[in-house]
Structure formats: structure tokens, C-alpha cells
């Protein structure tokens, strides 16, 4: 069994170094070329085998103890967001315009990479195999997890562990909950094609703006009047664009929306009604349309066993356990949980300043990486060395 406190103390400075390197050099989803090279080179230097046949920028490192035991996987997401960072007072501010680690993936990668190096150094104390999955494209649907599952990254994995920093919780805490944790997500892009005209002669037009307004209003009726109010559903129109000037009715309008729920039946019903509303509204306004409806991540559901293992780990290590509040956000770690057992938890990263994920001012208290590192390694110890002993 590995000493979590000792190894985290030894890795603390290196985690900050790696995190700041990734933060200064962020790369967007499915374009994490230099990030991938950095990870691969450090894994190889630590003596890990790089799994062949993995597409894109994802990297899977394999550490084989040579002794019987389960295969445990750790997953870190490596992509950044399309944002211009505003933390220009920080020495590690993004140097890549239009890209920023505003969701903490830099810290996830730093924790996992240091964990891989530490466990490789103590290979003789391990059992079974350990896989370190560095995943591309978590921020873009359908998500990099799909490709990794298809490429066999989890073929022999018994249990997978993932963590995400959470600015709403204080440093020194971890959070999770049994059941619904994050929602499924679907998106659509809609182009409405009408007939433009002078703004003073609307009778000569087939107005795509009014058609879009009608659709926008009716979509919210799905939430308030169609779906069981005890089953959450969010339909948000994030883009509604069209027009040229105040006195011109345009030919075309574009709309984009996101649809989120925990319930598979609600997900199916929402799609059916959305398609009906769009079709009927366009016919009523004498418009045509092109609709692209994309199915994204499934809901992330955590089982009771994983929560209990995490609670035991937090208690043993002296970290605060908080029952997580479910979110309508989405996370493609859910794909892994459809293939094997696993645990996904949140690491408190609050630095005393109000922070939000996906915001140009996002940052973390870097001490949170010690908590994350210890809990990741602690979960490995709990699964491999301690769980069966506690059942005796």
C-alpha cells in the first residue's frame, strides 16, 4: 500500500509546475497536440507503456506491476476552452489567444501525470495494472471518451476513477453523491429559411425571425406543460442570429440550443416535441428549415458503493467529505460508467474569490491538487488493498 501523504508532499511542487505549464499553453478540443506530446514524453520517461491504437491526441499509459490484481484506471481531461483569459496579473496566464483552461483540466492533468510518475517509482508496491487515461475533447460533443471506449482503452479495466476541481467547495474537501450527478446533454442547430422583404412591407415576406420567436416560446412549453415537473429538464437557446438592418426582414435565421435532463424518457420526449414544434412553426410561417440534432453525453449516475469508498478514503486521509449538489451540467465521464464500474468526484478548489467554471476569470487554489492527488491514490489503495480486508 502506497503512502498518500508522503507521495503527495513529494509531488506538490511538480504538480504546480505542470499545472502552470498546461495553463500557459492551452489547446482546444481535439487539437491538444503539444499537450499530448508533453504527457507522452513524461510517461515514457517514467517507464510506462503507451497503449497503441489510440486515436487523436488522447494518451493512455499502462503501468503493470507484474503481480495479480485488478486493473484500475485514472482519467484526466486535457483540453481547454475557447476563451480569452482575463487573469493577466498571473504569471501563468494563457499565452494562446482564444484558448484558456477555464474548467480546471490543467490541474486534472497535472495531478494524474504526477500520480503516474509517483506510482511508477513505487511499482514494486502495486498489484495488478494501472491505466492513466489522458483524454482529448471533453468540452466538445460527442466527447473524447467515446473514441477511447471504441479504441479499447477500458477493455480490461475493472474500475475507473475521475476527479474535477470545484470552486464552490473549499480546499481540503471532496464532494460526491449517489445517484444523479450531472445531466445528459443534446444540442441542436436550426437554420430557418424564409423570404426577405422591406421592413415596411412585411406582408411580402415569410419572416424567419417571427418563426424563430414562435419556436423559442413554444420550446419552453415543453418544460412547463409537457414534462413531469418532478423530472428536471432545461432547454436553453444560446444563439439566435439573423438580420442585416432595422428595416430589412432577412431570408434566414440561425438558432442553437442545448437540452439537459437526467431521465432517458424525458430526453426522448423532449426531442420528439422539439422536432414537432419546429416543423409546425415553419409550416405556419411558410418557412423551410434545416435541423441538426446531436445526441451528446448520457447522464452521469454514481452508485452507492463508489460513494462509500470515497467517504472511507476521505475519512482515512483527514479530508472533509461534502454531499455534492447535482448539476444540469454534463460530463462525458458518463460514457466510461456505461462500460465499467467507477467513481467520479469533485475536489474543492475555492481560493476565497467567487469563481465560476467556463469563465475568463477562473482560477484555483493550487493546494487543492494535494487533496486531489491523495484522494485519487487513496481510492486506489481502498480498492486494491483495503476493501476486501474490511469485509473480513
Catalytic residue among 32, 77, 79, 106: 79
The 10s digit of each residue's pLDDT in 33-73 is 999 999 999 999 999 999 999 999 999 999 999 999 999 99
Look at residue 281 and give its three-state secondary structure.
Answer: helix
Task: For residues 152-167, give the mean pLDDT.
Answer: 97
Q: 3-class SS at 277?
A: helix
Residue 392: the pLDDT is: 42
What's the mean per-residue pLDDT of the chain? 96
Q: What is the largest CA-CA distance in the chain?
A: 83
pLDDT per residue over 181-237, tens digit each? 999 999 999 999 999 999 999 999 999 999 999 999 999 999 999 999 999 999 999
Residue 288's DSSP bridge partners are: 193
Residue 202: how many other CB atoms lie within 10 Å = 12
For a pLDDT cut of 70, what percent of the chain falls above it? Answer: 99
pLDDT in tens, 60-113: 999 999 999 999 999 999 999 999 999 999 999 999 999 999 999 999 999 999
* CA–CA dist 5, 370 (Å, integer): 9
- What is the C-alpha to C-alpha distance for residues 169 and 151, in angstroms, rounded to an integer? 35
Give the integer Cα–Cα distance in Å for 128 and 312: 22
pTM (2 d.p.): 0.91
138 noted as active-site residue:
yes
Q: What are the tens digits of pLDDT across the range 275-325?
A: 999 999 999 999 999 999 999 999 999 999 999 999 999 999 999 999 998
Q: Is there a catalytic annotation at residue 79?
A: yes
Q: What is the mean pLDDT of residues 378-392?
A: 81
Identify any residues that bridge with 255 across adjacent strands, giving them in sequence order.
Answer: 190, 240
Whether the pLDDT of residue 160 is over 70: the answer is yes
pLDDT value at residue 391: 46
Cα of 124 vs its chain's centroid, Å: 33
Q: What is the pLDDT of residues 232-261, one digit of tens each?
A: 999 999 999 999 999 999 999 999 999 999
Closest alpha carbon to 192 in 219, 212, 218: 212
Residue 390 has pLDDT above 60, yes or no: no
pLDDT at 260: 97
Query: Which is catalytic among the residues 32, 138, 186, 251?
Result: 138
Amino acid at each position: 500500500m502506497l503512502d498518500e501523504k508522503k507521495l503527495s508532499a513529494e509531488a506538490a511542487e511538480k504538480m504546480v509546475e505542470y499545472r502552470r505549464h498546461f495553463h500557459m499553453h492551452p489547446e482546444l478540443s481535439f487539437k491538444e497536440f503539444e499537450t499530448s506530446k508533453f504527457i507522452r514524453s513524461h510517461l515514457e520517461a517514467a517507464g510506462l507503456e503507451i497503449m497503441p491504437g489510440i486515436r487523436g491526441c488522447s494518451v493512455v499509459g499502462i503501468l503493470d506491476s507484474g503481480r495479480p490484481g485488478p486493473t484500475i484506471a485514472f482519467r484526466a481531461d486535457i483540453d481547454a476552452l475557447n476563451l480569452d483569459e482575463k487573469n493577466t496579473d498571473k504569471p501563468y496566464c494563457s499565452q494562446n489567444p482564444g484558448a484558456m483552461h477555464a474548467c480546471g483540466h490543467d490541474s486534472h492533468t497535472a495531478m494524474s501525470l504526477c500520480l503516474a510518475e509517483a506510482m511508477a517509482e513505487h511499482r514494486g508496491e502495486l498489484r495488478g495494472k494501472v491505466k492513466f487515461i489522458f483524454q482529448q475533447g471533453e468540452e466538445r460533443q460527442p466527447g473524447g471518451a467515446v473514441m477511447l471506449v471504441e479504441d479499447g482503452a477500458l477493455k480490461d479495466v475493472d474500475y475507473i476513477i475521475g476527479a474535477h476541481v470545484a470552486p464552490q467547495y473549499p480546499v481540503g474537501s471532496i464532494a460526491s453523491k449517489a445517484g444523479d450527478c450531472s445531466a445528459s446533454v443534446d444540442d441542436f442547430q436550426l437554420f430557418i429559411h424564409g423570404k426577405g422583404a422591406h421592413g415596411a412591407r412585411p406582408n411580402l415576406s415569410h419572416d424567419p425571425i417571427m418563426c424563430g420567436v414562435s419556436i423559442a416560446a413554444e420550446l419552453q412549453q415543453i418544460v412547463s406543460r409537457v414534462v413531469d415537473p418532478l423530472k428536471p429538464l432545461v432547454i436553453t437557446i444560446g444563439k439566435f442570429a439573423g438580420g442585416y438592418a432595422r428595416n430589412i426582414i432577412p431570408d434566414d435565421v440561425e438558432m442553437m440550443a442545448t437540452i439537459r435532463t437526467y431521465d432517458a424518457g424525458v430526453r426522448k420526449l423532449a426531442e420528439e416535441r422539439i422536432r414537432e414544434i419546429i416543423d409546425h412553426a415553419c409550416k405556419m410561417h411558410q418557412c423551410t428549415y434545416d435541423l441538426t440534432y446531436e445526441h451528446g453525453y448520457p447522464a452521469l449516475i454514481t452508485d452507492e458503493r463508489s460513494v462509500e469508498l470515497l467517504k472511507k478514503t476521505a475519512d482515512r486521509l483527514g479530508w472533509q467529505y461534502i454531499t455534492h449538489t447535482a448539476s444540469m451540467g454534463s460530463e462525458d465521464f458518463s460514457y466510461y460508467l456505461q462500460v465499467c464500474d467507477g467513481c467520479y468526484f469533485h475536489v474543492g478548489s475555492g481560493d476565497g474569490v467567487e469563481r465560476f467554471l467556463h469563465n475568463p476569470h477562473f482560477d484555483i487554489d493550487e493546494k487543492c491538487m494535494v487533496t486531489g492527488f491523495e484522494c485519487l491514490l487513496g481510492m486506489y489503495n481502498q480498492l486494491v488493498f483495503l476493501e476486501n480486508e474490511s469485509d473480513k
